[in-house]
Amino acid sequence: MKRTHTCGQLRADHIDNTVTLCGWVQNQRDHGGVIFIDLRDREGLTQITFDPDICGADIHAIADRMRSEWVIQITGAVRSRGDNANKKMATGAIEVYVTSLEVLNKSETPPFEVDEHSKVGEEIRLKHRFLDLRRPSVQRQTITRHKITKIVRDYFDDEGFLDIETPILCKSTPEGARDYLVPSRVHPGEFYALPQSPQLFKQLLMMAGYDRYMQIAKCFRDEDLRADRQPEFTQIDIEMSFVDMDDVMQTAEGMVRKVWKDLLNVEVGEIPHMDYATAMLLYGSDKPDLRFDMKIVELTDWAPTSGFVVFAGAVENGGVCRALNAKGAAKDISRRQLDALTEFAKDFGAKGLAWIKIGDNGEWQGPAAKNITEEARIALGERMGVENGDLLFFGADTEKTVCNVLGNLRVELGVNRLGLTKSGQWEFLWLHSAPMFEYDEDERRYNSVHHPFTAPYPEELEKMETDPANVRSLSYDMVLNGVEMGGGSIRIHQPDVQARVFKALGISDEEAEEKFGFLLDALKYGAPPHGGLAFGLDRLVMLILELDSIRDIIAFPKTQKARDLMSDAPNLVDEKQLKELSIISSAPPRS
RNA sequence: GGCCUGGUAGCUCAGUUGGUUAGAGCGCCGGCCUGUCACGCCGGAGGUCGAGAGUUCAAGUCUCUUCCAGGUCGCCA
């Protein structure tokens, strides 16, 4: 070994020991005589001291020329810093008086300073990610991710799960997200797809009798990126046989409890359950943020009596009328902000945003206020618990639009405008029993809300053909602070049920056979009842570290245009490579 | 694909109503300094104002096109 200790290790106990350290030069403080250097590795910083009387003129001369990010090895005696101790440093009680030095590698001046306090834009960080990853905060985040995967693996191992790898080169199925395709050289014109998730393989492992499976699996989806969406991401993927919904939820919950306990020493209690219908009604969302209250209030029965044609008309056309009461927010939200919120609401499909401010004197203000009869106003006041200083927002439209608008408005108000959330809040929720199907207006057919292998409530099976929109699934999502962190379901294990689901989705027998024949086959040979779940590992790590983007906890992430700024992937390839793969590009030539 | 924000020195940013030679802090280079710790002091170098076109006597600044980064809607079974 080239070193006896790391740069985060030495304490007063080590005084008078002779040690050898390796690391990067964080900075150099040259006092003309004595030179101080902070030496950095992933464990910390240690001050090393070059005193010409101790290290000699030759070593001192090299230290004089030493610059940031040089990699050096030094040997010397650990000394107390006495009154000069630095209380801000873990190793601040000591310093190492250098007696021997080897420069392992010099460094050019880095494009940005590798330290905590200097602000650097994300673009430049990603371009030189190998330098960015040296920064202590980024290293802490990367190490936390390792710790989490270690806890997760240990937990599932203790619970009897087997870690089994599934293929990366898979069969393409045009359902769901867009696939990343990989051309086959030996089968000209044919393609593999990278997995969107190991869904079918883990089900097949249950059918193969492996009972409890887990994998930390890379997944790929060729869709547009977001702060919490990368084209390649990682799932904590599990599947279990002979279980019902509660069994899977309990097992997954145990993992979360262990991660939060071991990492943050936070006790996550029993995670509450809420069904999909309730969530949509009260929070307008399938991932409610429970860090603050502000529930949506149903006013559909009140709207026709309100005297306001916009509210009454929406209900008359088969829509709903609902509202939010932002308690005490009248003074916090200016007229200008109300205009911005109206634009915000329009982004989610609203035609406008009716609001009412209740002044401190009890006066009702705002365009909607004038249109409401005195009688309706009293009824509304009681229904919504209105007090002076409150601010009401209304949604009157189709149920889908009202949920979308008020659900998003609620989060915008609570999180961004009123600051009702705070650091260190962990509001977990199991959201269960989502509908099996959702009608697609454009394609005029039903789509799966989860995926086509999700099992329906057995007692609702009979409605599959007559009323598919009202069949609920044995599904569950884990939501944390308004972010979907994981989701899963009990799967279909009976061939006839699977056939009926395909039929409801408008997938013909031939098509089902072509795409999923292997699964349908396996169902015929004694498939056990089974179910599972997948967590988004990136999101979990992001949330636990209270970061805003999963790019921060992925070592080499991609930009919004799915490019790796460091390696410059994707790139053009040789004609020869394309020819071998029987591919002709139709992209316009580059200038 | 739509909308919004940004792109000026190596980095982070300022730059007024279109008007002289485009500035600051940090970093970098040189010098001084034996107890600093984001050391200090003195001096210096460093610019395709993302790219292209246009308007104008004159463009970092106005207009159009385009590229890049971020946010968001659509999209993400």
Q: How far apart are CA A215 and CA A217, in angstroms?
A: 5
Q: Which nucleotide is nearest to A86 (CA to C1')?
A: B37
Q: Which nucleotide is nearest to A451 (CA to C1')?
A: B77
Q: Which nucleotide is nearest to A126 (CA to C1')?
A: B69
pLDDT > 90? residue A283: yes
pLDDT recorded at residue A451: 95
Q: Which nucleotide is nearest to A53 (CA to C1')?
A: B34
pLDDT recorded at residue A505: 93
Nearest residue, CA→C1' of B28:
A109
Neighbours of A443 (CB within 10 A): 9
Nearest residue, CA→C1' of B26:
A118
**Over the stretch A255-265, which tens digit does the pLDDT of each residue have?**
999 999 999 99
Distance measured from the CA of protein residue A228 to the C1' of nucleotide B13, in angstroms: 28
Q: Which nucleotide is nearest to A348 (CA to C1')?
A: B73
Nearest residue, CA→C1' of B70:
A560
pLDDT recorded at residue A573: 92
- The percentage of residues in chain A with a pLDDT greater than 90, rounded to a whole number, is 95
pLDDT > 70? residue A591: no
- Note whether ipTM > 0.85 here: yes
Distance measured from the CA of protein residue A30 to the C1' of nucleotide B29, in angstroms: 16
- The percentage of residues in chain A with a pLDDT greater than 70, rounded to a whole number, is 100
Nearest residue, CA→C1' of B41:
A31
Distance measured from the CA of protein residue A27 to the C1' of nucleotide B46, in angstroms: 22
pLDDT > 90? residue A232: yes
8-state DSSP, A14: G
Q: How far apart are CA A485 and CA A169, in angstroms?
A: 26
Q: How far apart are CA A432 and CA A128, in angstroms?
A: 43
Q: Which nucleotide is nearest to A198 (CA to C1')?
A: B77
**Strand, coil or helix: what is A21?**
strand
Q: Which nucleotide is nearest to A438 (CA to C1')?
A: B77
**Over the stretch A163-185, which tens digit does the pLDDT of each residue have?**
999 999 999 987 789 999 999 99
Query: Which pTM was predicted?
Result: 0.95
In this structure, what token pair is assigned to residue A450?
Answer: 């989860």
CA nearest neighbour of A576 among A185, A169, A193: A185
Predicted confidence band of residue A81 (pLDDT cuts 50, 70, 90):
very high
* CB-based contacts of A90, cutoff 8 Å, min separation 6: A8, A44
Mean pLDDT, chain A, as a whole number? 96
pLDDT > 70? residue A429: yes
Nearest residue, CA→C1' of B29:
A109
Nearest residue, CA→C1' of B12:
A119
Predicted confidence band of residue A440 (pLDDT cuts 50, 70, 90):
confident
pLDDT recorded at residue A174: 75
Cα separation of the two ends of chain A: 52
Q: Which nucleotide is nearest to A178 (CA to C1')?
A: B76
Nearest residue, CA→C1' of B37:
A86
Distance measured from the CA of protein residue A88 to the C1' of nucleotide B39, in angstroms: 16
Q: How far apart are CA A316 and CA A376, in angstroms?
A: 17
Distance measured from the CA of protein residue A504 to the C1' of nucleotide B74, in angstroms: 26
Highest mean pLDDT: which of A502-506, A510-514, A539-543? A539-543
Distance measured from the CA of protein residue A347 to the C1' of nucleotide B52, in angstroms: 34
Q: Mean pLDDT across the stretch A520-544?
A: 97
pLDDT recorded at residue A588: 78
In this structure, what token pair is assigned to residue A445?
Answer: 């057919």
Q: Which nucleotide is nearest to A175 (CA to C1')?
A: B77
Query: Which bases of strand B sit closer than 7 A to a protein CB?
Result: 1-2, 10-13, 26-29, 32-40, 68-77
pLDDT > 70? residue A590: no
pLDDT > 80? residue A589: no
At position A306, the amino acid (one-letter code) is S
In this structure, what token pair is assigned to residue A499?
Answer: 């056939």
Distance measured from the CA of protein residue A173 to the C1' of nucleotide B13, in angstroms: 49
Distance measured from the CA of protein residue A571 to the C1' of nucleotide B53, in angstroms: 29
Distance measured from the CA of protein residue A590 to the C1' of nucleotide B52, in angstroms: 16
Q: Which nucleotide is nearest to A80 (CA to C1')?
A: B35
pLDDT recorded at residue A387: 96
Distance measured from the CA of protein residue A522 to the C1' of nucleotide B73, in angstroms: 41
Whether A124 contacts A175, CB under 8 Å = no
**Over the stretch A318-374, which tens digit does the pLDDT of each residue have?**
999 999 999 999 999 998 899 999 999 999 999 999 999 999 999 999 988 989 999
Distance measured from the CA of protein residue A123 to the C1' of nucleotide B60, in angstroms: 22
